[in-house]
């Protein structure tokens, strides 16, 4: 059956971005001209998903509003003849079928995914962590869906990481490679020290998951950081059903930290013909000052 649903856990408190996230949802921080969350939603839609499920918390109203109609704004743009902008606003509001479900307590990523259970029925579904922004013509979720359609089972996006970054991610153990870049996963561990890591293959924020994960998440006890970890439930799942890992093609921007977010903005602005010179002018002026 086709993967139709994509779950976005967006209830996190964004503590790495305080103070700005005291009031603003971190998913709404701009990446050049659009909020971070928009990139993930666009990727899910381009991958064939038709239903977006946001697992939100109380400070996340702005995400709901962003994807909704804004009559006052639309009327104003129409009245002032700003047709292109008006149409752009309508396009955002009509972009996707979006359902919202609340994660009432911040109990971890596994718990956030579990909150989507009533909407996901008994189907395989995608999960996208919006902090990881992927830019590629062939969307990363679509790459995972293709492996799911060919091999069955669940699929996780992987990236080869440097040893010093291992402790920031879930790390998998591969039994073998069925084809270049596609691994059969037999074990995984959330944020290990580099000495105890089974490999340098790190889980990135895109998944295609079996509905069986819900049953496992119900029984999952707290793990790393005292949170219910998706990685821990997936570790059990790979003993029961096939779980594949795919070293994705494309570029990833880590927008989950201030440094990563800033670097993503600069890199993408450099690729925009109009913004490129803004960045270069600032850098050149700063360089001239230090010389």
- Structure token pair of residue 130: 């919006």
Question: Which element (helix H / strand E) includes 173?
Answer: strand 170-179
Residue 189 · residue 198 · CB < 8 Å: yes
* CB of residue 230 to ligand G1P, shortest distance in Å: 6
- Our CB check for ligand G1P shows the closer of 49 and 202 to be 202
Terminal CA-CA length for the chain: 62
Helices (H) and strands (E) in the chain, counts: 11, 13
* CB of residue 235 to ligand G1P, shortest distance in Å: 11
Instruction: Report the alpha-carbon distance of residue 90 to residue 85 in Å, rounded.
Output: 9
Indicate the residue whose CB is closest to ligand G1P: 170
CA 99 to chain CA mean position, Å? 17
* CB of residue 191 to ligand G1P, shortest distance in Å: 7
- Our CB check for ligand G1P shows the closer of 28 and 113 to be 113
* CB of residue 83 to ligand G1P, shortest distance in Å: 39
Instruction: Report the alpha-carbon distance of residue 226 to residue 150 in Å, rounded.
Output: 36
- Our CB check for ligand G1P shows the closer of 153 and 223 to be 223
- Our CB check for ligand G1P shows the closer of 62 and 167 to be 167
| Nearest by Cα to 220 from 105, 114, 104, 103 | 114
Q: Provide the 3-class DSSP secondary structure of residue 224.
A: helix
* CB of residue 179 to ligand G1P, shortest distance in Å: 23
- Our CB check for ligand G1P shows the closer of 35 and 223 to be 223
- Our CB check for ligand G1P shows the closer of 74 and 159 to be 159
* CB of residue 127 to ligand G1P, shortest distance in Å: 10
| Nearest by Cα to 168 from 198, 141, 199, 194 | 194
Residues found near ligand G1P in the complex (CB under 6 A): 109, 129, 132, 169-170, 190, 202-205, 229-231, 256
Instruction: Report the alpha-carbon distance of residue 150 to residue 170 in Å, rounded.
Output: 25
């Amino acid at each position: 059956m086709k993967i139709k649903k994509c779950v976005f856990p967006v209830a996190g408190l964004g503590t790495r971005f305080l103070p700005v996230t005291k009031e603003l949802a971190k998913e709404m921080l701009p990446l050049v001209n659009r909020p971070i969350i928009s990139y993930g939603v666009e990727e899910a839609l381009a991958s064939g998903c038709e239903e977006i499920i946001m697992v939100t918390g109380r400070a996340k109203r702005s995400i709901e509003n962003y994807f909704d109609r804004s009559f006052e704004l639309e009327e104003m743009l129409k009245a002032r003849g700003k047709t292109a902008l008006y149409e752009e606003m309508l396009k955002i509001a009509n972009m996707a079928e979006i359902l919202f479900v609340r994660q009432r307590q911040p109990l971890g990523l596994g718990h956030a995914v579990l909150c989507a259970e009533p909407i996901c029925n008994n189907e395989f579904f995608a999960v996208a962590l919006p902090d990881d922004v992927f830019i590629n013509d062939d969307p990363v979720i679509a790459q995972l869906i293709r492996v799911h359609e060919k091999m069955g089972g669940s699929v996780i996006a992987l990236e080869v990481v440097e040893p010093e970054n291992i402790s920031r991610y879930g790390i998998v153990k591969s039994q073998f490679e069925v084809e270049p870049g596609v691994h059969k996963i037999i074990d995984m561990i959330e944020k290990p020290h580099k000495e105890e890591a089974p490999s340098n293959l790190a889980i990135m924020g895109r998944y295609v998951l079996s509905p069986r994960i819900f049953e496992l998440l119900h029984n999952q006890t707290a793990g790393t950081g005292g949170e219910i970890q998706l990685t821990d439930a997936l570790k059990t799942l790979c003993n029961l059903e096939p779980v594949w890992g795919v070293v994705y093609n494309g570029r990833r921007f880590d927008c989950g930290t201030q440094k990563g977010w800033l670097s993503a903005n600069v890199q993408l602005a450099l690729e925009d013909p109009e913004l490129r010179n803004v960045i270069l002018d600032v850098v050149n002026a700063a360089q001239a000052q230090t010389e």
